Amino acid sequence: MLMKTAPLYLRSADDASHPQARACASCAVRKDALFGALDAQGLERIHAHIASPSLQADERIFTQGQTAAALYTIRNGIVRFERAASDGARRILRLAGRGDLIGQEALLLQPYNDDAVACTPVELCRIPQHLVQDLAAGESAVTRELMTRWQHALQEATRWADDLRSGNARRRVLQLLRVLSRHPDEQDRIWLPRREEMADMLDLTVETASRCVSQLRREHVIQTLPPRHALLNAALLAQAVQAADS
């Protein structure tokens, strides 16, 4: 692509027409960040809309469930994603650091999935959602579908850590049954993993998994139908899940 002027990042900072252009051009993480691939013309179009907020430790960037208006690149510092369990306990689901993009769900017009909170003093680059949509205006429907699926995979992976790797054995088995109940077969039976598979999903031993399933069978929450199938009592399951993490 031919450019009439030198790329913005090659100009000296003080030629730039807009104050934020200087900030963007001299940004230490620009080459690693979302807009690293953008040329000078692209950068010119966006810098007026970008802000560079700084936060102190324990300040919140966004909140779970909030309508997502912007995504952020982390220029410096560490951010944690957390979520409040129904019993009030907090679960920290992952960290993000310099160069990472957070709040991508904004692009899909979804609410934020978790709280994002600064662990250390943090410097951000705030990118309004509409800006990326404009830049990606030429994108095909397939591209958008792809992003939606990527986000879905991310949510599932997060849910796995949150639901199946937290709490005691009984709670984990119950949560697994809840996940499996979303994939019923034609006769409304669920696929019930081998005890060894359950163990590897929940980070338990085979014996503990077996003991939990047996207990739930005695409570009529589940009825096992060998081989590797089962019927769930949805009401009792919901009740047991509720009781287990409150």
Binding positions for a copy of itself, rule: CB under 8 A: 34-38, 42, 78, 80, 82, 89-98, 100-102, 104, 107, 119-120, 132, 135-136, 138-147, 149-154, 156-158, 160-161, 165-167, 179, 182-183, 191, 193, 197, 200-201, 203
CA distance linking residue 89 with residue 25, whole number of Å: 42
Q: In this structure, what token pair is assigned to residue 160?
A: 């796995």
Q: Which does 44 bind (CB under 5 to 8 A by kind): DNA, a copy of itself, none?
A: none
Q: Which does 3 bind (CB under 5 to 8 A by kind): DNA, a copy of itself, none?
A: none
Note whether 188 binds DNA by CB under 7 A: no
CA distance linking residue 97 with residue 110, whole number of Å: 23
- Nearest CA-CA partner of 25 in 52, 7, 5: 7
Among 180, 224, 233, 245, binds DNA (CB under 7 A): 224
Note whether 211 binds DNA by CB under 7 A: yes
- Nearest CA-CA partner of 76 in 54, 104, 103: 54
Q: Find the Cα–Cα–Cα–Cα dihedral 232, 238, 244, 245, rounded to 10°.
A: 140
Q: Which is nearer to DNA, 144 or 217 (CB)?
A: 217
Sign for the pseudo-dihedral over CA of 14, 18, 23, 26: negative
The three-state secondary structure class of 69 is coil
By CB under 7 A, which span of 2-10, 35-43, 147-155, 200-208 interacts with DNA?
A: 200-208
The three-state secondary structure class of 56 is coil
Q: Which does 47 bind (CB under 5 to 8 A by kind): a copy of itself, DNA, none?
A: none
Residues making contact with DNA (CB under 7 A) = 168-170, 194-196, 203-208, 210-211, 213-214, 217, 224, 226, 228
